[in-house]
Amino acid sequence: MRPFHLLAFGALALPLSALAADPHSYAQPDQVRVTHLDLDLKVDFPHKQLDGQATLKLDWKDAKAQSLVLDTRDLKIASVEGIDAAGKASALKYALAPRDKELGSKLTIATPQHPAQVRIVYTTVPTASGLQWLTPEQTADKKLPFMFSQSESIHARSWVPLQDSPAVRFTYDAHVSAPKDVRVVMSALNDANHPLDGDFTFSQPHPISSYLLAIAAGDIAAKETGPRSAVYAEPSVVGKAAKEFEDTEKLIKAAEALYGPYAWGRYDLLVLPPSFPFGGMENPNMTFATPTLLVGDKSLVSVISHELAHSWSGNLVTSAAWRDIWLNEGFTTYVQGRITEAVYGKALADEEALISARGLQKNLKDMPENAQRLAPKPGIGADDSISEVPYDKGSWFLRTLEQRFGRETFDAYLKGYFAHFAFQSITTEQMLDYLKANLFDKNPGKMSWDEVKQWVYEPGVPKDAPLPDSPRFNAIDKARASFLAGSLAADKLDAKSWNTQEWMYFLDGLPDVTPLDKIKQIDAAWHLTGTPNAEIGMRWYSHAIAAGDKDVWPAAAEHMTRIGRLYLTMPLYRAFVKTPDGLAYAEQVYAKAKNGYHPLTQDAVESLFAKAKKGDKK
């Protein structure tokens, strides 16, 4: 542990020794650190590649350092040159190590003269893990091709050679050329009125981590939703998206009232094609979002509350390594709940907190002990670190702190935390040092430090962890129990008034294998097969498949083919692979859907199939 008073404001939040400790990066930022990135890229749709160069501004920390080590994955390096303080360029020797399956290839550049900058000319490959290339037919409007990035967790290295660690923060400028009529956007300040002339420039003046580096290009229209926000999407989608997200300014103001000014200037949203593998990605200035949020009633806008909350927890104060990702996601999920409560009411915020807590409790029993820790021991991969534990256990811990210390006291603490660590990357231990000094020591007797250590370093959730009460959920519990017991018919469920979250809760509480006749009764009464609501559909199809209802298979296949979001698609695949017939059917669905899936989704499905064939059906 490092005492909190050793931390300082400025670009370098971590001690140099800690910077070198990221097991998911080859970089050696204790020797030399990238402080600024200049990108010059060309979007080549026919060849599904980015061509260009990355110029890295360097801050040399070790006078004896002989090389610059960068992270890459499947990049084709054409040349490397050093640029001295006077601007003179000269070729540098470099070596690209053999590819590691997870980490990619270490790029070692000989730099005995410690150049001020290094320029790398390179090309990406069509299968870059951080990029997806879509044909016009795979988009909503089917007019132009589309490309987008997903750099989290360690996929930025597949499209830019850099120090791909959240501990390293850098500013960036970019120039991107693309075909005319194509709009390019990045995780920087974007201009909704930019002409579609094939020539785009961007600037990100705030230091960010590499996983927040983002780019997209395609048939993208823009529609303002407020004085500092706009929605970007394909022309046929942008109007619906702007209506769904018309409360964006209210959400920003609610967050500012709680935690201080929004530091990033604009907050824009890009609604991607449905192959996007996540609900949302908090890229600074430009959240990337899934179209599955567009259900017409704003019931899933909490995902936007979550991505906006990252503007404080994650983008402003960042986890130093993937082991510490709960500092991003747990804090953000807590802040999301507070924004949702402020704009849409406490009842909805409590319902969402209960859904996440109950889901976590159910899933923990199938997790290895180490994966249940907020700060796990070594051995978990970067992508694997992003589970419901950092999100849901992390936010549950913060709700516990709020309850013990009181909302007013905890709000003041959290606002100070964000201000103190602004634009820094920190470890769990640094956060805990600050917590002890600024909350526990100033408010003694509210909670023991042993309880904190149990939450952070031990598996599971403490038995006395507090949960909010939801009268509507309590009523649903009773109705579900009566229905399963046979004393209440499906058509007598008081479900006409249920919102999305209440349907989610009802379905989540059904047995893992619900009797087939009960499934048939629910569908006959409420017509869930074919629902346009993907949250409800994911739960419904998973239960129906598990119950053996083959009548839903075509609708489930349509859901799986249309949606590439991992969270909404993988549960159906997992349900199918539990039987030989289901596995065979899932393989047929995947063969048709594969080309529309993101590489992350492809990897997840193929890994599931491989395990199922070995007898592991989880």
Using DSSP's 3-state secondary structure scheme, residue 125 falls into coil
Q: Are 121 and 38 in contact (CB under 8 A)?
A: no
Query: Are 156 and 312 within 8 A, CB to CB?
Result: no
Residue 597: which region, alpha, beta or left (left: phi > 0; alpha: psi -120 to 50)? beta
Q: Binding site annotation covers 282?
A: no
Sequence-distant (≥ 6) Cβ neighbours of residue 501 within 8 angstroms = 299, 348, 351, 352, 355
Amino acid type, 493: L
Residue 310 marked as a ligand binder: yes
Token match 């569908």: residue? 523
Catalytic member of 307, 341, 351, 352 = 307
Question: DSSP letter at 310?
Answer: T
| Residue 44 φ/ψ, nearest 5 degrees | -110, 90
User: Distance between CA 392 and CA 250 in Å, rounded?
Assistant: 25
- For the chain, percent helix, then strand, then coil, each to nearest 5? 40, 20, 40
Name the active-site residue from 391, 413, 541, 597: 391
For the four alpha carbons of 290, 295, 297 and 299, in that order, the dihedral sign comes to negative
Give the C-alpha separation, 221 to 258, whole Å.
32
User: How many residues in total does the chain contain?
Assistant: 618
Residue 152 is a catalytic residue? no
Neighbours of 363 (CB within 10 A): 14
Write down the residue that tokens 């962890």 correspond to.
Answer: 465
234 is in an annotated binding site: no
Closest CA to 159 of 198, 110, 213: 213
In terms of Cβ atoms closer than 10 Å to its own Cβ (0-12, 13-18, 19+), residue 21 is: middle
Does the annotation mark 307 as catalytic? yes
Residue 162 is classified by DSSP as B
Catalytic site residues? 307, 391
Question: Residues comprising the binding site for Zn(2+)?
Answer: 306, 310, 329
| Residues that constitute the known binding site | 306, 310, 329
